[in-house]
Amino acid sequence: MADVESRLAALGLQLPQPIKLPPNVVLNFPWVRIHGNRAFISGHGALAPDGSIATPLGKVGRDLSLEEAYHAAKLTGLAMVASLKASIGDLDRVESWLRVFGMVNADESFNGYPLVINGFSDLITDLYGKERGAHSRSAVGVAGLPFNLPVEIEAEVAIRT
């Protein structure tokens, strides 16, 4: 089984610090909920290395280019992997990425949602390989996201208990 931490280092990637929510924001749910051999990962957005919300913010197709949104989806993946590590310890406990739901805060003229969420899917496949990283996926456009995030993604993974 591939060592995910080694893959991160080989790719020159670093997991961000835990999310730092804006002042006065309280969220009453866990970032990762373990039930049996499943980890349900709550919706995440892109984080800067220090755990703050990454910029740019806004609508894809108006405030962000496709390339910037793809990068935001990749950063979102790193944030999710960081939350998963905090919850389960060893990232190699992930047996399979099962399901991904990606939301893109899109201008009404933009419809390349799958191309944006590819930033996430490409990262997960690079880290976990084609067999463990392959996942079912939806990518949709939405009128808005919390904190004006360009991308929010949630997922479900199978883990070794």
Query: What digits encode the pLDDT tens for the residues 34-62?
Result: 999 999 999 999 999 999 999 999 999 99
Strand partners, 34: 39
Asked whether residue 146 carries a pLDDT value surpassing 60, the answer given is: yes
Cβ neighbors of 25 (< 8 A, separation 6 or more) are: none
Tell me the mean pLDDT in the region 112-128.
98
**Which token pair is 51?**
């755990």
Tell me the mean pLDDT in the region 126-147.
97
Q: pLDDT tier at 1 (50, 70, 90 boundaries)?
A: very low
Tell me the mean pLDDT in the region 105-127.
98
Strand partners, 140: 103
pLDDT at residue 2 in the model: 56
Which ranges constitute the DSSP H helices of the chain? 4-10, 66-88, 113-133
Tell me the mean pLDDT in the region 89-109.
97
What is the overall mean pLDDT for the chain? 97
Query: What digits encode the pLDDT tens for the residues 58-92?
Result: 999 999 999 999 999 999 999 999 999 999 999 99
Task: Report all structural domains of the chain as residue ranges with CATH numbers, in order of start.
Answer: 1-12+59-161 (3.30.1330.40)
pLDDT at residue 22 in the model: 87
Cβ neighbors of 131 (< 8 A, separation 6 or more) are: 96
pLDDT at residue 161 in the model: 87
